[in-house]
Amino acid sequence: MKNFFMILLTIFLPFCLVLLTFLILFGIRRVFQQTLETTTSFQNISVIIPFKNEQENISDLLNALNKLDYPSDKYEVVFVDDNSSDDSMKLLHQNLMNNYKVVLSSDKKYPGKKGAIDIGIKNSKFDIIAITDADCEPELNWLKSISNKIVDGNEVVFGYSPLKKENSLISKISSFENFRNYILYFSSVGLGIPYSATSRSIAFRKEVYYRLNGYSRTLETLSGDDDLFIREAVKQKLKIGTFINENSFVYSKASKSFKEYFNRKSRHLKTSHHYILKHKMMLAFWHSVNIFSLYSIVLIPFSNLLLFPFFIKIILDIVTAQTVQTKLTSDFSWYEILYLQPVYETFLIVNFIGSVIRKDKWK
């Protein structure tokens, strides 16, 4: 019986790994095939940026926004201050452009960041809403890509938001994790089963926001203004698209410390407890196969055959990351992938536990 069980593991795990990896690459290939049109339809867009105590990031954000390749009369930027206690407001008022404005987050309908975004939307004048964060830096074609994807008939769209990888270990870990998460985000759209995105680069029509009753159906957690919003869009069978075009990424800073990293991840993973059941089952199966394959190596004393799923996983991890990152302008070397992938999957377990025991808060 023991030998049968071991042989089953050595066949079942590699088979699942190969099949799932093929589906992931197939899905993301379909997304990569969606290229930017040669002509751009410059739709009117309101960019909503909620912030709280972001004085160290405001200058970089404004510098990026000022470089956007988009007619200034075709977009506005609505900054929403959620009771900042630093010099964020002062810096903004000193550098406001004609199409920028700041509103205060008072009498919020929803708690946390959702309430600030809601106030921004209510104070916006255009039909298309684009959202990013105050610690982000959109590239010059960001709004062009949003405009094109919305005109193509998509009701909700999201783009790629890489984290800036620095030399520190935590920066590499958080950047790689973000990269791997986006592989799943994009491939799920390509396979027709979207389940998540991030609010660092997401857009929709205002009519869609009100059709979904704003964030009123996403109040299970303080976070979830992105992935739970996607959940509600999926429930209503809305068309969800992605854009990964040249110069359309939205860069953000990686975690500076392990404490910041674990706080971020526990907050994000807390929303995953409220995903649609089929999405939870899909993710649980994907991660379980990978984690069991990774840790099958500890069972080698029982059978050398368990080296097989471990090595198959390592090879597929490197191939997948190296294949995808050429399109996402990432630069993880094969040896970085070799150690960051196990760390990523181990931290999935740690962060999932953290999401259960940590309290949810914004800032």
> What residue ranges do the domains of the chain occupy?
30-272
pLDDT digits (tens, 9 = 90+) for 291-330: 999 988 887 777 777 788 899 999 999 999 999 998 898 8
Q: What is the pLDDT of residue 241?
A: 95
Q: What is the pLDDT of residue 330?
A: 87
pLDDT digits (tens, 9 = 90+) for 321-361: 999 998 898 889 999 999 999 999 999 888 888 776 666 66
CATH of 30-272, one of 3.40.50.150, 3.40.190.10, 3.40.640.10, 3.90.550.10: 3.90.550.10
Residue 215 and residue 116 in contact, taking contact as beta carbons nearer than 8 Å: no
Residue 138 has phi, psi (to 5 degrees) of: -70, 145
DSSP code per residue over 93-159: HHS--TTEEEEE--S-SSSHHHHHHHHHHHT--SSEEEE--TTEEE-TTHHHHHHHHHHTT-SEEEE
Which position has the token pair 């005109």?
151
- DSSP SS3 for 283: helix
pTM to 2 decimals? 0.92
β-strand pairing of 128-131 with 45-51: parallel
Distance (Å, whole) CA 291 – CA 6: 16
